[in-house]
Amino acid sequence: MTDSNKIIIDIENIAKIYKMGFEIVHALRKVSLKIRQNEYLAIIGPSGSGKSTLMNILGCLDTPTLGNYHFKEKDVNFMDDNDVAEIRNQEIGFVFQTFNLLARSTAAKNVELPLVYGGVTASERKQRAEQTLINVGLGDRMDHKPNELSGGQRQRVAVARALVTNPSIILADEPTGNLDTKTGVEIMKLFNDLWEKGNTIIVVTHEESVAKHAHRIIRLRDGLIECDEVNDNPAHDFEIKEIIES
Amino acid sequence: MFNELGETIKIAFDAIRTAKLRSMLASLGVVIGISFVILMGWILTGLDNAMQDTFDMIGTDMLYIDKHNWAGGSNWKEMRQRKDITLNQAKDFCERIESAEIAVPVIRTRRSQIKYKGQAYQASFIGTVSEHSIISSKNIASGRFFTGFEDNLSANVMVIGHKIAETVFPNEEPIGKIIKIKGRKLEIIGVMKKQGTMMMDFVDLQCYVPIKKFLSIYGRDRSFEIAVKAGSEEKLDEVRDEAQGLFREIRNLKPWAKDDFSINETKAFEEMVKSVRTTVWSIGLLMTGLSFIVGIIGIINIMFVSVTERTKEIGVRKAVGAKKRSIWLQFIIESAVLCFSGALISLIMCSVLVFAVATILPQSVPEVSFLSPTLSYELLITASLVSIFVGIVAGLIPAVRAANMDPVIAIRSD
């Protein structure tokens, strides 16, 4: 934890303006944010608050209309498509609400995908993908296709895919949104474990119960940060729930 | 880069395998186009090989001094007014030419009737001397050419062409048989090999008789030719130069006078072949072009469908770090693989067709026996490369569209 103070993400006065037909939408108005290594952060807000837009910008999937974005001190605004793709590949791991796995590929192949674009050899890809799947508890499901897996297992595959490149941050967009409560809790426990191992985690959600696991909570409303607070008492109710349900 | 390429090719095959029927229908145009390329190449190769065989048989080192220009020439009227080449001029030439391996006088009829067992057949006759065997002995299938002795005696012997042997003696050994020509009886002593093809089958109707016999049958009232064998293709120029000078001298031409004879080469036939070749090419090219246009449109269409269907997948790939170039490559390769699969189908189809045609058709149409029952490797490789090229061209626009997709929008689509 020597460099736990190192800033990974630094955004300053970010704004995103869309044009929808004749209407101009201010998805983000003026957002500034610093995220340090090994933070566990939740971005919470109702729909339309701009949290998805913020996540897309943080994940380098989208570019802000105004403002500066430095990723590990590099200015993302001045990068070309290839450099941005490389950042997504090497530095960021996405976990989506709808899993977004490739339906025709096995779990192992899905996890390998970022390594394919990272130029890793086939044998190393296979070995790393398998190890990561074992780490998320799916060692016995490697050759299963997504439609042969449960929702929770699919999300674990997606988490493994996000982890396999050892990214600087993991960006999860409503990771429990499509899961039942029990499985959702399991996934949140997985995130907690990852954080304990030193990963930086950003969870975007509209559910308080999800956000309360984080150590820092940012509330968005109407494209602005409403409050940015430290959660002194992050939830640790994974085991309790499991006992109740079983 | 290479790690990615291998994976991308796998993805392309998977994508095609999951939509077999659709892919097959889409590549139908390409299948037809490639089939045209293959069949056209097959016919042209067959034609070329047949021509080459014929030239090799007749000899590519041959020159023929004749009153007429075989290739047609510009001034037919002038040629008709030329004086006939006499036997003495021809003999004189044959004795004096030095650079050539051999030169012999030749005289021929266009069409003549022969009779065997009361049946009449068409043949053409060549009167020549026994030394002609130096030119033609390697083309004798059975028997022998006539000797100098038979030549001097004006013996009643003849060597028949392959086609004559085939039609007159379908189930008999021709050697030793007697044929009637204008009431005279001639004994067959030799049979020539098959030399002609679809275009030059007149060669196989030719029969050789001693020159004196020829003159006694058909009379002297015609122009002689001189067949000159240079010895090798490299010597052609040298021999041609000497022959021209020598024959001008023999014909008593003034230095300023134009040649009143022509020196013909086997190349004259090549001109004839070229025009047929060009016809086959242009028809083939037109058909190929049309089917490729249809084929490319089909592929472009299916590739757009494929890109649209997989919008979400493109979004996911971009989110995990695929560069534009990678996405572009993925669809280009898919398109190329699609066309290449089409090419494989047509290769198999054409191989079967070609084998069937080349083995069955010549039984009823012997003129097409020049067609080979197999396709050459060059042809298969060319067809494959063409298909891949077509795939790349057809995949360009859909691939660019896929590469330029906004990942945020793509990943949200269903």
One domain, residues B239 and B308: no
For B408, the closest of A62, A86, A161 (CB atoms) is: A62
Residue found under tokens 């060597």 = B159
Nearest-neighbour CA in chain B from A231: distance (Å): 30
Check if the beta carbon of residue B317 is closer than 8 Å to that of residue B326: yes
For Cα atoms B169, B157, B136, give the angle at the middle one, nearest 5 degrees. Answer: 85
- Distance, in Å, from the CA atom of B300 to the CA atom of B293, rounded to the nearest integer, reads 11
Structure tokens at B54: 């014929």
Range 96-125 of A in CB contact (< 8 A) with B: 96, 100-102, 104, 113-114, 116-122, 125
CB A88 to CB B411 under 8 A? no
Residue found under tokens 């189930």 = B171
Q: Provide the pLDDT confidence category of residue A8 given band limits of 50, 70 and 90.
A: very high
One domain, residues B331 and B408: yes
Which of A86, A87, A100 to mutate to test binding with chain B, by most B CBs within 10 Å of its CB?
A100
- Residue A193, CB-side half-sphere exposure with 13 Å CA sphere: 13
How many other C-beta atoms can be found within 10 angstroms of the C-beta atom of residue B356? 11
One domain, residues B75 and B218: yes
One domain, residues B170 and B308: no
**Residue B262, beta-bridge partner list:** B66
The answer to whether residue A126 scores a pLDDT higher than 90 is yes
The answer to whether residue B388 scores a pLDDT higher than 80 is yes
Q: Does A89 touch chain B if contact means CB atoms closer than 8 Å?
A: yes
One domain, residues B43 and B91: no
CB pairs A-B closer than 8 Å: 68
User: Which chain A residues touch B326 with a CB distance below 8 Å?
Assistant: 117
Q: Is the dihedral of CA B340, B341, B346, B347 positive or negative?
A: positive
How large is the angle between the packed helices A107-117 and A122-135, nearest 10 degrees?
A: 130
User: Which chain B residues touch A116 with a CB distance below 8 Å?
Assistant: 3-4, 7
What residue ranges do the domains of chain A occupy? 39-65+81-245
- Please tell me the least confidently modeled range out of A113-117, B87-91, B138-142, B271-275: B271-275
Contact residues for B409 (Cβ-Cβ < 8 A; gap 6+):
B315
State the ipTM, two decimals: 0.91
Q: Give domain A39-65+81-245's CATH superfamily.
A: P-loop containing nucleotide triphosphate hydrolases (3.40.50.300)
One domain, residues B160 and B276: no
Q: Does A94 touch chain B if contact means CB atoms closer than 8 Å?
A: yes
- Distance, in Å, from the CA atom of B49 to the CA atom of A245, rounded to the nearest integer, reads 84
Please choose, from the candidates A160, A164, A169, A131, the residue with its C-alpha nearest in 3D space to the C-alpha of residue A40: A169
- Distance, in Å, from the CA atom of A76 to the CA atom of A69, rounded to the nearest integer, reads 6
Q: Mind listing the pLDDT tens digit for each residue in B267-282? A: 766 777 777 778 878 8
For A56, the closest of B313, B326, B408 (CB atoms) is: B408
The answer to whether residue B138 scores a pLDDT higher than 80 is no
For B4, the closest of A59, A90, A116 (CB atoms) is: A116
Please choose, from the candidates B410, B375, B389, B388, the residue with its C-alpha nearest in 3D space to the C-alpha of residue B45: B375
Domain boundary residue among B216, B236, B265?
B265
One domain, residues B283 and B352: yes
How large is the angle between the packed helices A81-91 and B324-364, nearest 10 degrees?
A: 100
The answer to whether residue A246 scores a pLDDT higher than 50 is no
Q: Mind listing the pLDDT tens digit for each residue in B194-208? A: 876 655 667 788 899
Nearest chain A residue to B410, by CA: A61
- Distance, in Å, from the CA atom of B176 to the CA atom of B22, rounded to the nearest integer, reads 68
pLDDT at B6: 80
CB B323 to CB A82 under 8 A? yes
pLDDT at A165: 92
Q: Is the dihedral of CA B299, B304, B307, B309 positive or negative?
A: negative
CB A90 to CB B326 under 8 A? no
pLDDT at B271: 72
Q: Does A86 touch chain B if contact means CB atoms closer than 8 Å?
A: yes
CB A119 to CB B316 under 8 A? no
pLDDT at A231: 86
> Whole domain around residue B200: which residue ranges?
61-265
Structure tokens at B183: 């009431």
One domain, residues B258 and B309: no
Mean pLDDT across B145-169:
89
The answer to whether residue A2 scores a pLDDT higher than 70 is no
The answer to whether residue B104 scores a pLDDT higher than 70 is yes
The answer to whether residue B1 scores a pLDDT higher than 70 is no
Mean pLDDT across B222-246:
88
Structure tokens at A25: 């939408």
Domain boundary residue among B265, B289, B315?
B265
Domains held by chain B: number: 2
User: Which chain A residues touch B323 with a CB distance below 8 Å?
Assistant: 81-82, 85-86, 117
For B4, the closest of A62, A90, A117 (CB atoms) is: A117
One domain, residues B261 and B290: no
One domain, residues B143 and B261: yes
Chain B residues interacting with chain A (CB cutoff of 8 angstroms): 1, 3-4, 6-7, 14, 18, 312-313, 315-326, 407-408, 411
Check if the beta carbon of residue B398 is closer than 8 Å to that of residue B300: yes
Mean pLDDT across A232-236:
82
Nearest chain A residue to B8, by CA: A116
- Distance, in Å, from the CA atom of B30 to the CA atom of B391, rounded to the nearest integer, reads 9
Which phi and psi angles does B360 have, rounded to 5°?
-95, -45
CB B321 to CB A119 under 8 A? no
- Distance, in Å, from the CA atom of B46 to the CA atom of B368, rounded to the nearest integer, reads 9
- Please tell me the least confidently modeled range out of A103-117, B136-150, B388-402: B136-150
Please choose, from the candidates B23, B7, B4, the residue with its C-alpha nearest in 3D space to the C-alpha of residue B394: B23
Query: Collapsing DSSP states into helix, strand and coil, what is residue B272?
Result: helix
Q: What is the mean pLDDT of chain B?
A: 86
pLDDT at A179: 87
For Cα atoms B172, B150, B216, give the angle at the middle one, nearest 5 degrees. Answer: 90
One domain, residues B36 and B145: no
Domain boundary residue among B265, B289, B312?
B265
Nearest-neighbour CA in chain B from A95: distance (Å): 10
Mean pLDDT across B233-258:
88
pLDDT at A86: 93
One domain, residues B372 and B229: no
How many other C-beta atoms can be found within 10 angstroms of the C-beta atom of residue A187? 23
Check if the beta carbon of residue B195 is closer than 8 Å to that of residue B126: no
**Residue B114, beta-bridge partner list:** B121
Nearest-neighbour CA in chain B from A119: distance (Å): 6
